[in-house]
Amino acid sequence: MKQVVYLLLFLMFAVNVFSQRELAKERIIEKIYEQLMETTDGEGDFSVLYDDLTYFAENPINLNHTSKDELEKLRLLSDMQIENLLFYIYVNERMETIYELQLVEGMDVFTIELLLPFVQVGASDAASTKYRFKDILTYGKHQFIARFDGTFEKKQGYRPAEENAEFNNRYVGDPFYTSLKYRFQSKDWVSLGLTAEKDAGEQFWGTCNKGYDFYSGHLQINDLWKFKTIIVGDFKANFGQGLVMSGEFLSGKSSSVTNITAQNNGLKKFSSTDEFNFFRGVGATAQIGNFDITAFYSYRKMDGDTINNTFTSFKTDGLHRTVKDLERKRTVGRQVFGFNTTYSHPKFKIGLTTVGSWLDATLQPEARPYNLFYFQGKAQFAASLNYYFRLYKFRFCGETAINERGAVATLNSVTYSPVSMLNLALLQRYYSPKYDVFFANAFSENSKTNNENGVYMGMEIEPYRLWKISAYADVFRFPWLRFGTYKPSTGWDAFLQIDYKPHRKVEMFGRFRYKNKESNLTEPLAQTFYVGTTNKASFRYQIAYQIGSIGLKNIVEANAAYTEKSSATYGFLILQDVIYQLPRIDMTFCLRYEFFDAPNYDNRFYVYERDVPYTFSSSALYGKGSRYYIVYKYTIINGLTLYLRLAGTVYADGRKTVGSGLETIQGNTKTDFRIHLQYQF
Amino acid sequence: MKKLVLSLGAFFLFLNSAFAEITTIVPNSYVPGNASVSYVNAWLPFHNPAALAHEKVGAIQLQYDNRYITKELNTALVSGCYSTKYVNIGASFSYFGYSVYNEMLTALTFARTFGDRFSLGIEFNYYTVFFSPTERYRGTFTANIGLQAKVIDNFYISFAAFNPVFSKIKTEFLDKSLPVVFSLGTLYQITDQVDWLVQIDKEVKSPLRWATGVEYRPFKEFIVNAGVYGSNYAVPTLGVGFHFSGFEFRLNTEYHTRLGLSALGALRYTFQSQKRK
């Protein structure tokens, strides 16, 4: 009887909790996720970060035998904290216990708690990283992942053609997403991966397509002879501060206000289902003395609307659901050659990066004033010099780049910690409007790394133990027009967060954010627009606490958005998370229930959502309504894990449809399900 | 008749938006400021079902509520609860309105604690509304779920969601949605005698409502409370309570600057038993 009551209640209230490691992984991603979503409007691929965190959760970093490169992969510690940690270990020769982390300068209780699941203290003379072929098989782990997604409601694109006259189109495939992944990982030495994916609406087998729509694969070997990395297949590359080359969306403004420099440089395997943002070819990094030399070559067929061997823009969403989409599929060939050499010294680092890209069709953006300086043509080149050095308690870091048009982009930052309780950061950037480079992705307010200059200042202070105050201010200017802002414009952004941890199992923060930015505005009934300031102020209070094996979280967020000519509209969000892990068996439930009231798009909310592994899909919430999700995880047998996710949004603002175009759903409800099966041995 | 039905519908819709609260469906409570979601001293039917988990033995309660000294705006409530080894069970019934228009809410509630710091509750409701002699009674099922968590000593955070399933009643003339309410609140037990409650409620279509109140128990036999809640208007509340050998009588009043005075009286008897969970 007791068990039945337990089971009934738990199933009714669906809760969850992850292990400490799962939770820490989620929280690291969450820290950078929401602000990034706002900047990129829902785009972002966290698979590399998730991969690294998963790897380190299973193979914790031995702090007595680690390196800057390895610690950077966590994206959790600032440059300063990494330097201080390595310095502490160097001075004391080794750490005796993990509790010594508290003695490291600049290491606060919040960071330590996130760090703990990924680090350990072992022997300082740990085994050499040299390995033999036999070791690869001995330590190898295989993983198979199958995923199946769908939406319960029928979308317009799946209705018969005669009902789609308005759209003159319909989806050619079935309404389900499916993907298969295989991975082989042997410690940090060898990684092999294959991915096949079909998006909802794409045809699996028929007249338009045969098989999966997207295939990806990679083989990465690390630490082989002089080579730090060798990659064949699909990969990403990050160099310097991202002015020339960065495949990840991870540097920028976030609640880690002094962690502003790009980390984790080099070539990285690509195993995500993002169909745009990766290279396909070969690459290698060789270590010769203090030099790291990287070279890679990539050739891919990209999507674009090609007419007479010219196209206006790349199609980046990877969706091939309609006949029109299929006509644009893989129409533009792109070759990329990249080279980087970095000289590392204990006190400084300097690197040179060059990248050349050749298209087999001419990129010719539609003639618009805002894209006057966008790249046009077939060939693009960029080169940069990046540096890093320490001077007393200052750390300097930066990169300066130039492209084939002679346009310059430069980013320079300094971080300073006068006392252990205070960290300061200052970053300056200037990106010429003519600096439009395909793979640039550096610190910026814009989603593109061009046409911007600005100054960022960040501060982190621990006035008392268990308290942390983080703040930043960023002023920026766009010297040329932008999409949606048809004159040179300015803006500023301020952020203040106060974290408090009154108890080992309770932590909370209050966060205030204000942004002032210029954009096109229209007056009611007016036919023309003008450029004016838009303002958004938001406040969030979040508390997370643990009671036994039950984790709970609440968020209350309110915002006000207004422009020069319009009065403020107010948005409000309230949220409850309950997380429960059943004792003894590996079964977890996670439930979220939230209400949102965002009368305008400017009042929209971004809230990180728990999902199945390697999936990070979250869209902006606006309108009035409620949203829920349930994530269920069950380890059926050792190694075989099933994840189920059900998520729904019910709008209560009187709307008769959800979505637009072929994605339109009749009614006020959208309900998605996801099944993820993972087998690891 | 159609006009009458539409007028009544419009009137109650007005009431819902004017109060910006939980609507007439959910009876008021004697908790200061109506900040009931974190109230742990007694189970209040149709509020947070998780509070039922704190009932040690069993109780019955009668409650009568009049809003704005208007005879048509009365709510009567009767409820009872019983504590078992595995789960606490409650049953309740409320009646609002008069002969031409009335609403009834019947509920069966289950709740239990998990450890000494966490409780969950679920309430299964059947809502009935009498629209008109032609329409007669229409009804629908809905639910109310809630939790109360003792985060640290003397401090609780609680959550409740009424009608998360978006139940509604459709008739030929009216499409009546039941309110969908998200409540989040805290209780700070400042001393053994003084509790401070804070709460926010969001009905999915209505503005946010906030509430706060303090309950003071200077003697075992006497309770006094004061609070305020509001959305567009701030509504102060004031109440007293008397407690004698298992019987508790509560009287609560509130004053709306536009609509006037409301009063609520409740009588509760808690069974005296040696049985303890």
pLDDT digits (tens, 9 = 90+) for A164-214: 666 567 899 999 999 999 999 998 889 999 999 999 999 999 888 899 999
**CB-based contact, B202 to chain A, within 8 Å:** yes
- pLDDT class for B10, splitting at 50, 70, 90? very low
Beta-carbon-side half-sphere exposure of residue A158 (alpha carbons within 13 Å):
17
Q: Residue B257: is its pLDDT beyond 50?
A: yes
Contact present, A172 and A198 (Cβ < 8 Å): no
Scanning A269-357, the segments in alpha helix (DSSP H) are 323-328
**CB-based contact, A287 to chain B, within 8 Å:** no
* Chain Cα centroid distance, residue A267: 17
**Measured between alpha carbons, how far is A533 from A521 in angstroms, rounded to an integer?**
8
3-state secondary structure of A303: coil
> With contacts defined as CB-CB under 8 Å, which chain B residues touch A543?
151, 157
- pLDDT class for A585, splitting at 50, 70, 90? confident
Kindly report the length of chain A: 681
Q: Could you tell me which residues come within 8 angstroms of residue B62 by beta carbon, excluding any fewer than 6 positions away?
A: B76, B77, B78, B266, B267, B268
Torsion-angle region of residue A307: left (phi > 0), alpha (psi -120 to 50) or beta?
Answer: beta
User: Per-residue pLDDT averaged across A382-396, rounded?
Assistant: 92
Contact present, A373 and A479 (Cβ < 8 Å): no
**Backbone dihedral angles phi then psi of residue A126, each to the nearest 5 degrees:** -55, 160
Among all residues of chain A, which has the CA nearest to that of B203? A595
> With contacts defined as CB-CB under 8 Å, which chain A residues touch B157?
543, 545, 552, 554
**Measured between alpha carbons, how far is A164 from A337 in angstroms, rounded to an integer?**
44
Structure tokens given for A14: 């669906």
Largest CA distance in chain A: 77
Q: Residue A17: is its pLDDT beyond 50?
A: no
3-state secondary structure of A362: strand
Contact present, A463 and A469 (Cβ < 8 Å): yes
Cβ contact, residue pair A548, B180, below 8 Å: no
CA distance B222 to chain A (A): 33
Contact present, B156 and B38 (Cβ < 8 Å): yes
**Measured between alpha carbons, how far is B19 from A124 in angstroms, rounded to an integer?**
68
Cβ contact, residue pair A548, B117, below 8 Å: yes
**CB-based contact, A176 to chain B, within 8 Å:** no
Position with higher pLDDT, B265 vs A52:
B265
Nearest to B152 among A506, A552, A628 (CB): A506
Question: What is the predicted pLDDT for the residue at A147?
Answer: 96
Cβ contact, residue pair B151, A506, below 8 Å: yes
What share of chain A in percent tops pLDDT 70?
90
Write the CA distances from A310 to A304, A360, A377, B27, integer angstroms: 9, 9, 9, 68
Cβ contact, residue pair A13, B145, below 8 Å: yes
User: Per-residue pLDDT averaged across A463-492, rounded?
Assistant: 93
Contact present, A629 and A644 (Cβ < 8 Å): no
* Chain Cα centroid distance, residue A300: 23
Cα–Cα nearest to A246, from A271, A275, A278, A282: A278
**CB-based contact, A506 to chain B, within 8 Å:** yes
Question: What is the predicted pLDDT for the residue at A70?
Answer: 86
**Measured between alpha carbons, how far is A365 from A353 in angstroms, rounded to an integer?**
27
3-state secondary structure of A415: strand
> With contacts defined as CB-CB under 8 Å, which chain B residues touch A559?
none
Write the CA distances from A154 to A161, A175, A624, A657, B165, integer angstroms: 14, 8, 22, 11, 20
3-state secondary structure of B173: coil
- pLDDT class for A304, splitting at 50, 70, 90? very high
- pLDDT class for A448, splitting at 50, 70, 90? confident
**CB-based contact, B120 to chain A, within 8 Å:** yes
Q: For the ranges A52-56, A247-251, A253-257, which has the lowest average pLDDT?
A: A247-251
Structure tokens given for A212: 């999966």
Q: Could you tell me which residues come within 8 angstroms of residue A628 by beta carbon, excluding any fewer than 6 positions away?
A: A591, A592, A593, A594, A647, A648, B164
- pLDDT class for A250, splitting at 50, 70, 90? low
Question: What is the predicted pLDDT for the residue at B170?
Answer: 82
Question: What is the predicted pLDDT for the residue at A126?
Answer: 54
Contact present, A236 and A247 (Cβ < 8 Å): yes
**Which tens digits make up the pLDDT trace of B27-39?**
889 999 999 999 9
**Measured between alpha carbons, how far is A381 from B22 in angstroms, rounded to an integer?**
63
Among all residues of chain A, which has the CA nearest to that of B117? A547
Q: Residue B12: is its pLDDT beyond 90?
A: no
**Measured between alpha carbons, how far is B147 from B119 in angstroms, rounded to an integer?**
6
**Measured between alpha carbons, how far is A428 from A458 in angstroms, rounded to an integer?**
12
DSSP string for residues in A573-598: EEEEEEEEE-SSS-EEEEEEEEEEEE
ipTM of this predicted complex? 0.82
Is beta strand A669-680 parallel, antiparallel or unpaired with respect to A140-151? antiparallel
User: Per-residue pLDDT averaged across A324-348, rounded?
Assistant: 93
What share of chain B in percent tops pLDDT 70?
89
Buried b (16+ CB within 10 A) or exposed e, A306-340: beeeebeebbeebbbbbeebbebbebbebebbbbb
Cβ contact, residue pair B152, A503, below 8 Å: yes
Q: Is the dihedral of CA A269, A270, A276, A282 positive or negative?
A: positive
**CB-based contact, B184 to chain A, within 8 Å:** yes
The C-alpha angle A666, A670, A672, rounded to 5 degrees, equals 135
**Measured between alpha carbons, how far is B249 from A154 in angstroms, rounded to an integer?**
55
- pLDDT class for A326, splitting at 50, 70, 90? very high
Task: Name the DSSP class of A349.
Answer: E
Q: Residue B146: is its pLDDT beyond 90?
A: yes
In SS3 terms, A516-562 reads as: EEEEEEECCCCCCEEEEEEEEEEEEEEEEEEECCEEEEEEEEEEEEE
Structure tokens given for A177: 């997403």
CA distance A582 to chain B (A): 12
Position with higher pLDDT, A513 vs B275:
A513
> With contacts defined as CB-CB under 8 Å, which chain A residues touch B87?
5, 9
**Measured between alpha carbons, how far is B252 from A652 in angstroms, rounded to an integer?**
33
Cβ contact, residue pair B151, A545, below 8 Å: yes
Q: Residue A489: is its pLDDT beyond 60?
A: yes
- pLDDT class for B193, splitting at 50, 70, 90? very high
Question: What is the predicted pLDDT for the residue at B261?
Answer: 93
Position with higher pLDDT, A565 vs A638:
A638
Structure tokens given for A439: 């793979």
Task: Name the DSSP class of A660.
Answer: -
Cα–Cα nearest to B186, from B207, B212, B206: B212
Question: What is the predicted pLDDT for the residue at B205?
Answer: 87
**Which tens digits make up the pLDDT trace of B72-89?**
889 999 999 999 989 999
User: Per-residue pLDDT averaged across B225-245, rounded?
Assistant: 93
**One-letter identity of residue A199:** D
**CB-based contact, B152 to chain A, within 8 Å:** yes
User: Per-residue pLDDT averaged across A467-494, rounded?
Assistant: 94
Work out the burial of residue A153: count CB atoms within 10 Å of its CB; fewer than 13 is exposed, 13-18 middle, 19 or more buried. Answer: middle
User: Per-residue pLDDT averaged across A241-257, rounded?
Assistant: 81
Q: Could you tell me which residues come within 8 angstroms of residue A526 by beta carbon, excluding any fewer than 6 positions away?
A: none
Cβ contact, residue pair A624, B117, below 8 Å: no
Q: Say which residue the tokens 């785009």 belong to.
A: A43
Contact present, B185 and B38 (Cβ < 8 Å): yes
**Measured between alpha carbons, how far is A340 from A351 in angstroms, rounded to an integer?**
7
Q: What domains can be seen in chain B, in order of their start residue?
A: 2-270 (2.40.160.60)
Question: What is the predicted pLDDT for the residue at A99?
Answer: 87
**One-letter identity of residue A107:** M
**One-letter identity of residue A119:** V
> With contacts defined as CB-CB under 8 Å, which chain A residues touch B202?
572, 574, 595, 597
Torsion-angle region of residue A377: left (phi > 0), alpha (psi -120 to 50) or beta?
Answer: left
Cα–Cα nearest to A154, from A201, A204, A84, A91: A201
Q: Residue A478: is its pLDDT beyond 90?
A: yes
> With contacts defined as CB-CB under 8 Å, which chain B residues touch A571?
none
**CB-based contact, B143 to chain A, within 8 Å:** no
**One-letter identity of residue A110:** F
Contact present, A52 and A58 (Cβ < 8 Å): no
User: Per-residue pLDDT averaged across A459-470, rounded?
Assistant: 91
CA distance A578 to chain B (A): 10
Question: What is the predicted pLDDT for the residue at A42?
Answer: 53
- pLDDT class for B16, splitting at 50, 70, 90? very low
**Measured between alpha carbons, how far is A590 from A16 in angstroms, rounded to an integer?**
4
3-state secondary structure of A10: helix
Task: Name the DSSP class of B50.
Answer: G
